Structure 1
Amino acid sequence: MMLPVEVNTREGELIFQSNAITDGVYKITLDEFRLLNLAISKISRHDKPEKRIRITTKEFVEVFNIKDKNVKNRLSAIADGLLGKTIDTYSFDQDSGKKTKRRRLWLSEVEYDIEGEENVFLEIVFSTEISDLLFQLKDNFTLFALRAISAFTSPHSFRIYAWLCKYRNMYNYRKGELITTDTISVYDFKVMLGLEKSYEEYKFLKQKVIERSINEINASTDISVVLNEYKASRKVIAISFSFVREDHPTLQSIKPKRRRLPARPRVKSGSNAEVEWAKKCIEIILEYENALKLYDKEARLPLPDLEKLVGYYELCGEDKKISERNCELKERKSKRK
């Protein structure tokens, strides 16, 4: 049973996709996830499937907080990669009753701005095969906010978060405010994420994929999630996730959010004014880190905030702090590989 869904937002705020995509099997990069989700967020509920979707370098950089001087070529390379990528979706054949797999291309066309150097754009067109899973959806869809996923640094965080969101409005999976997903075998979970040939040992899958994604989801989205494990002969063979929605009125004020950082003043590099600005930014990020720890002792700063913190310490010349935080940054990034 589905709970009613209220939607009162502008284009670019929400992502609607069929549950077939949410449950589908595909493997794409972090940047490809970013481009896809930004494009999907631009689809209004009454748009026609042939809509051309324009994405600019400016909005790509701003939404995902990307620092790249060559973002024009980066965006073009992302689109090039997506042109050949596919997604497998599953259904049952009406005549035979057998389960079938359907493979579809994500995109049918990309048009590039080849003359501009500032705020360059590209336009993409979703393939006709995938359009029925993105356009004019009436039911069986997954809905989530673009801003909720903008801080993710792992492609698996995108997949797991979307899969969780599928259950948000399903009454049968709810017990009070707690929502628990279907149980999925470890193998099927790996297949869904395109990892069927990786992480032969569950402990590495848990450490490098599941726990990292849970940390990102808990730190930057509107839900708090925990992992459930199911064992046979001491071996984990299946998992599920339980979570609470933090947009619920009783939870809305609990999970900490970072205050907006002040804009950099237009002053000379290395000046006292720049140092004072950096100190204010450090204060805000450390305040946020402390609040996260109080909320969840296992919580850590999102990597983008940790990288910012290192940069601010560099402006202030705090060598000891730079060394400490760089070690933390190196250790956390090594776990992503």
Structure 2
Amino acid sequence: MDNLELALKEDPKALEQFRYNAAVDSKNNVFRVSNDVISGLMAMNSSSWRMFEFVAMHLDIYPLELRLNDEFLESINQGKKYIPSEFRTVTLTAADYVKTFKLTDVAGRKQFVRDALSLFNEAVEIFQGSTIRMSRPVTDLEFEVERRVKGQGAVVEKFYAGEMLGTKPAASQAARLTIEINENLAMAMLFVVKNFTRLDNKIKARLSPAANKLYTYLKMQVESEAKYREQIYITWDLDTWNRFLNTKHKSIRRLADSFAYDKQITESTDLTVVSGIDRTQKSGRAYTHFYVGVMKTPEHELIEHDIVDVKPVRKRLPARPKVLKGSDAEGIWARKCIKILDDFEKELKAHKRVLPKADRDKREKYLKIIGEVRK
């Protein structure tokens, strides 16, 4: 059963909760990507992957309105699956791209265009029905270029991908771009209710594109295997590493000498990574594999190095005393509960978080007891 079938059978209230949680995550620069999508798109080069993550950050992956869309429902009734363009199209800005990935302004705006074109030119294996075919993850790309024209001020011109490619592109920068995602890829990205990874862009934005891609893959592995193993090791041959990193190393030794991504990830994120030549695998006298080991960094080390915020913990609410309903004693108890929840909300706001809905509902109940109404 795929994500769309699950979406139709899932309780709407459960999907609303997923959407609410994703929106709260988004306010904290955390976004979600299906593990199947991460695994399937890892063949993309690092710049393409960075742009894809930027798309994923801005895509509504729980579009509840799709469940009521006539075209979508008609396709389901006919035994087909169709996602209308508006549910898999996002508009992105160069200014946001520069800010998100900590780039310099002029170079970052040019990188915005180059990375978008890189993603557009990718060909990756995507499921189409029961078969896998090479497809573009992006089916349409439109750039908006702002130019200053004498006597007219700022004029916006629109160009498609083909016009931005070649030796004489229409422009090297663009203010905005609109991306339409491949329909089969969108089916894997939308309505993820299990087997997905939450990625915190606050702690990985400064990674190089290749280190960022490796971090995402390792984060998925750690989150998937955390229940079973504290440390995880992956060991790949030279061809696999070259494909993953988009490099052309001639030997495992040269790969090892230039590999600095473990230090980048360890120093900047919530993962501790080690790497080295896998001395258990040889062909003749030459080593054939290189390994990476990863584990979650202990929380006290993350706090010490200011890598993550510690989520505040609410004090326990006092149990309701055995008193009459409407009595002064009940009012005193309710006010104590309200103060704990109000203080907790202030702490959460300092960490750019919101009071959980369950706690908001409790506070409303306590406010009714003392006859207070808040807007």
2:193 is aligned to 138
Work out which of the residue numbers 216, 224, 233 in structure 2 matches 1:170: 224
Q: Do structure 1's residue 236 and structure 2's residue 287 form an aligned pair? A: yes
Distance 1:72 1:180, change over 3 A: closer
Q: Give the greater-gyration-radius structure (CA).
A: 2
- Report which of the two has the higher share of helix: 2
Task: State TM-score, norm by structure 2.
Answer: 0.54
Which residue is equivalent to 1:227? 275
After superposition, the Cα gap between the structure-2 partners of 1:18 and 1:104, relative to the gap in structure 1 and judged at 3 Å, is: farther
Structure-2 change in CA distance of 1:189 and 1:115 (3 Å): closer
Name the CA distance, whole Å, in 2 between partners of 1:116 and 1:173.
54
Q: 1:65 to 1:252 in 2, by over 3 A?
A: closer
User: Which residue of structure 2 aligns with residue 308 of structure 1?
Assistant: none
Which residue in 2 is equivalent to 1:55? 92
Q: Does 1:28 align with 2:45?
A: yes
Q: Which runs of 5+ in 2 are unaligned?
A: 1-17, 67-82, 149-153, 155-173, 309-375
**Distance (Å, rounded) in 1 between the aligned partners of 2:33 and 2:194:** 10
| Cα contact 2:126–2:184 (8 A) shared by 1 | no
Q: Report the counterpart of residue 302 of structure 1 in structure 2.
A: none
Amino acid at match of 1:109: D
Task: State yes or no: 1:125 paired with 2:180.
Answer: yes
5 Å-filtered alignment, 1:1-337, equals 8-10=24-26, 13-24=29-40, 25-30=42-47, 32-47=48-63, 50-69=87-106, 72-88=109-125, 102-115=133-146, 120-153=175-208, 155-171=209-225, 174-175=228-229, 178-195=230-247, 198-208=248-258, 211-227=259-275, 229-233=278-282, 235-246=286-297, 248-255=298-305
2:221 aligned partner, one-letter code: Y
* Secondary structure, counterpart of 1:166 in structure 2: helix
Cα deviation, residue 151, structure 1: 0.8
2:106 match: secondary structure: coil
Question: Structure 1, residues 123-179: CA drift from partner, whole Å, max 9, x if none?
Answer: 2111113212322222333331122321122x321221111111222346744xx32
Query: 1:112: how far off?
Result: 2.0
Deviations 1:269-298 (A, max 9, x none): xxxxxxxxxxxxxxxxxxxxxxxxxxxxxx
The letter for the 1-side match of 2:239 is: Y
Structure 1 pair 255–242 and aligned structure 2 pair: CA distance change class (3 A): farther
**TM-score, normalised relative to structure 1:** 0.59
Measured in 2, the distance between the counterparts of 1:249 and 1:71 equals 33
Cα distance, 1:17 vs structure 2: 2.5
Aligned residues: 239
Q: Which amino acid aligns with 2:266?
A: N
Residue 131 and residue 11 in structure 1: after superposition, are their counterparts in 2 closer, same or farther (change >3 A)?
farther
* Cα separation, partners in 2 of 1:227 and 1:53, compared to 1, 3 Å: same
Contact (CA 8 Å) 2:51, 2:119: kept in 1 or not? no
**1:46 CA displacement:** 0.3
Q: Contact 2:90 / 2:180 at 8 angstroms: preserved in 1? A: yes
- Check whether the contact 2:32–2:56 (CA below 8 A) recurs between aligned residues: yes
Corresponding residue SS for 1:15: strand
Give, in angstroms, the shift of residue 72 of structure 1: 4.7
Change (3 A) 1:156 1:89: farther
Instruction: Report the CA distance shift for 1:39/1:78 in structure 2 as closer, same or farther (over 3 A).
Output: same
Instruction: In structure 2, give the amino acid aligned to 1:42.
Output: H
**Displacement after TM superposition at 1:230 (Å):** 4.1
CA distance in 2, matches of 1:240, 1:173: 22
Name the residue aligned to 2:76: none
Q: Structure 1's 159 and 236: CA in aligned 2 closer, same or farther, altered over 3 A? A: farther
Q: Distance in 2 between matches of 1:70 and 1:255?
A: 30
Structure 1 segments unaligned to the other structure (5+ residues): 95-99, 259-337
Q: What is the SS of the residue equivalent to 1:142?
A: strand
> 1:9/1:207 Cα in 2 relative to 1: closer, same or farther (>3 Å)?
same
Output the CA distance in 1 between the equivalents of 2:281 and 2:108: 48
Cα displacement (A) at 1:217 = 0.8
Q: Which whole-Å CA distance do the structure 2 matches of 1:232 and 1:133 have between them?
A: 36
Which amino acid letter does the alignment assign opposite residue 82 of structure 1?
L
8 Å contact 1:105–1:130 — kept in the other structure? no
